Every structure is written in structure tokens, then in C-alpha cells.
């Protein structure tokens, strides 16, 4: 985990989500978060409580707090936690690990976000622990939104675009089917749909929707930067209309799995 801390001490997550390719991911995720919150509020007749696990510098947590929600954030990297607290929002923010949320009682929240931890937890067991902890602290009927990095994005960017494909094939970081088998020193883990399905099933969670949070946006950074506002708005509408299509799930960088606790 020390490598993760060192990496994020040099990386600004807020700026990534403010660039156009990041905006696609952020706006899509917020669109589905709000749908879940609206459904919860309609069903329970009260404002849902939110837990943001792996909150980073608070991009989602602060925005949701400003919309009037009761938001608690957990972040592993103290540097990010400091930035979050400097924003002087109403978010209650704590340092912690997604695999151990013992600070919180069972069924304390209505909606739990896992945007980040599952990128960096390499073993299926650790990923499962994070999902099970999210399930424990979420009320029955509540939602867990889990984000993953897609396998093909890892192969195409780290492997082919950055020139590591042959060494990755030789040292076992890619198997014969080009399924990523990365190690902790690689910092990020990449998964396929069958991996995500196994984790959701193993945690005993019901899938509501699964979608591509950013579609082709990460592959089109230059093109998105050069678009007029009108064309970019059209791209967003295209993405919103196609992001749930099953044939596009693995075509982007991020998958968003929307799960419900029975």
C-alpha cells in the first residue's frame, strides 16, 4: 500500500475528472448515483445517507453534500484526505481501509460508493472483503456502486500504447488469453466481466445495472479536447444513450456495477 500512497501523493484526481475524458466518467457516475438516491428517497421518504469509500479528494462526496445529502467519506491516502478537509464541506472524512470499515455499525448507510479501492486491491479475496464490508454497512435494500478498471483498457494502454506488451506476455502479467495478471507493484488491477460477476455473486449482492462509465472517452482525449461545446454535448448524449449496451461494457476504461443489498 506504500506504493499507492506514493503514487497518489503526486497525482491530482480532481484535475483528471475536470478534463473532458474525466468529465464523461464523472457526469455518468453522478447521473446513476442520483437515480439511486431518488429511488431510495421516494421509497423511504427520507434523505439517504451516503458513504464514499476511497473518496480521494472528495469530488463526489463534496458535490453530494452540497446537494443536501448526509455524506461520510473514507480515504486511505492521507494527502488526499487533507485536500478533502481543506474544502471545508459538511462531509465527515476519515482515514481508513475499504477492507475494514469497523468504525461504522452494520446498516448505517443507504448508498455506498466504492470508486477507487477495487482498482488497487489485487487479490479476489481483498476485493471480496471490500464488497462485503460495503454490504455490511449498507442497509437492506440500499445500493452499492462499485467501479472497476477494464482488462482491455489495461492491455491496450499499458501493453500496446506504452510499449510493455511483450514483456508483460513473458513475465506472466498477461496470460495466454490476454487476461491481466498484474502484481502489486503495477499499482492498478484490470478485470473482465466474468471477474466482476464472480465478485458480485460471491458477496451475495443483486445487480441492478452494469455500464461503461466512460465509454471510448479515454481513448479519445485529444478529440474530446478539440470539440466545440455543442459537439461535446452531443458526445455526452451519445454516451448516455449507449453506456448500458452490453457490447460496450469492456470498451472503455471504467465499468460501474450498481448492486443492491437484498
Q: What is the pLDDT of residue 59?
A: 95
Beta carbons of 57 and 14 less than 8 angstroms apart: yes
Cell of 197: 460477476
* Number of alpha carbons in the 13 Å side-chain half-sphere of residue 193: 12
In tens digits, the chain (262 residues) has pLDDT values of 566 666 565 566 777 888 999 999 999 999 999 999 999 999 988 999 999 999 999 999 999 999 999 999 999 999 999 999 999 999 999 999 999 999 999 999 999 999 999 999 989 999 999 999 999 999 999 999 999 999 999 999 999 999 999 999 999 999 999 999 987 778 899 999 999 999 999 999 999 999 999 999 999 999 999 999 999 999 999 999 999 999 999 999 999 999 999 9
Q: What is the pLDDT of residue 12?
A: 66
Q: Which residues contact residue 197 at a Cβ distance below 8 angstroms, ignoring those fewer than 6 apart?
A: none
Q: Which residues contact residue 199 at a Cβ distance below 8 angstroms, ignoring those fewer than 6 apart?
A: 124, 127, 128, 131, 146
What is the CA angle 183-187-189, rounded to 5?
A: 65
* Interatomic CA distance for residues 193 and 229, integer angstroms: 33
Query: Does the pTM of the predicted model rise above 0.75?
Result: yes
Beta carbons of 200 and 257 less than 8 angstroms apart: yes
May I ask the CATH class of domain 2-150+191-260?
A: alpha beta
Beta carbons of 70 and 40 less than 8 angstroms apart: no
Regarding beta strands 254-260 and 206-212, do their DSSP bridges make them parallel or antiparallel, or are they unpaired? antiparallel
Enter the DSSP assignment of 131.
H
Task: Give exposure, 188-213, as e/b (b: 16+ Cβ within 10 Å).
Answer: ebbbbbebbeebbeebebeebebbbb
Quickly list H helices, the chain. 2-8, 13-18, 20-44, 59-66, 78-86, 117-120, 124-137, 151-154, 165-170, 193-202, 221-226, 229-242
- For the sheet containing 109-114, what is the strand order? 92-95, 70-75, 49-53, 109-114, 138-149, 254-260, 206-212
Cell of 155: 492491455
* Domain-wise residue ranges, the chain: 2-150+191-260, 151-187
* Interatomic CA distance for residues 199 and 78, integer angstroms: 28
* Number of alpha carbons in the 13 Å side-chain half-sphere of residue 137: 26
Q: What is the pLDDT of residue 187?
A: 85
* Number of alpha carbons in the 13 Å side-chain half-sphere of residue 95: 8
* Interatomic CA distance for residues 107 and 135, integer angstroms: 8
Amino acid at each position: 500500500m506504500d506504493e499507492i500512497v506514493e503514487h497518489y501523493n503526486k497525482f491530482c484526481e480532481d484535475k483528471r475528472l475536470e478534463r473532458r475524458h474525466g468529465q464523461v466518467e464523472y457526469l455518468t457516475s453522478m447521473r446513476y448515483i442520483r437515480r439511486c438516491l431518488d429511488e431510495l428517497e421516494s421509497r423511504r421518504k427520507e434523505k439517504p445517507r451516503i458513504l464514499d469509500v476511497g473518496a480521494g479528494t472528495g469530488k463526489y462526496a463534496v458535490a453530494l453534500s452540497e446537494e443536501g445529502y448526509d455524506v461520510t467519506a473514507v480515504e486511505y491516502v492521507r494527502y488526499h484526505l487533507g485536500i478533502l478537509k481543506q474544502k471545508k464541506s459538511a462531509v465527515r472524512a476519515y482515514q481508513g481501509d475499504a477492507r475494514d470499515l469497523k468504525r461504522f455499525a452494520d446498516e448505517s448507510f443507504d448508498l455506498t460508493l466504492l470508486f477507487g479501492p477495487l482498482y488497487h486491491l489485487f487479490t479476489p479475496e481483498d476485493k471480496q472483503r471490500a464488497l462485503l464490508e460495503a454490504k455490511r454497512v449498507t442497509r437492506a435494500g440500499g445500493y452499492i456502486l462499485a467501479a472497476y478498471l477494464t482488462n482491455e483498457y489495461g492491455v491496450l494502454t499499458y501493453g500496446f500504447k506504452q510499449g510493455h506488451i511483450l514483456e508483460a506476455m513473458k513475465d506472466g502479467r498477461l496470460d495466454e488469453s490476454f487476461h491481466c495478471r498484474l502484481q502489486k507493484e503495477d499499482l492498478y488491477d484490470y478485470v473482465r466481466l466474468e471477474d466482476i460477476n464472480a465478485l458480485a455473486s460471491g458477496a451475495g449482492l443483486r445487480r441492478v445495472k452494469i455500464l461503461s462509465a466512460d465509454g471510448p472517452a479515454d481513448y479519445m482525449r485529444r478529440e474530446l479536447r478539440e470539440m466545440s461545446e455543442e459537439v461535446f454535448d452531443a458526445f455526452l448524449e451519445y454516451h448516455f444513450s449507449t453506456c448500458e449496451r452490453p457490447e460496450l461494457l469492456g470498451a472503455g476504461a471504467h465499468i460501474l456495477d450498481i448492486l443492491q443489498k437484498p
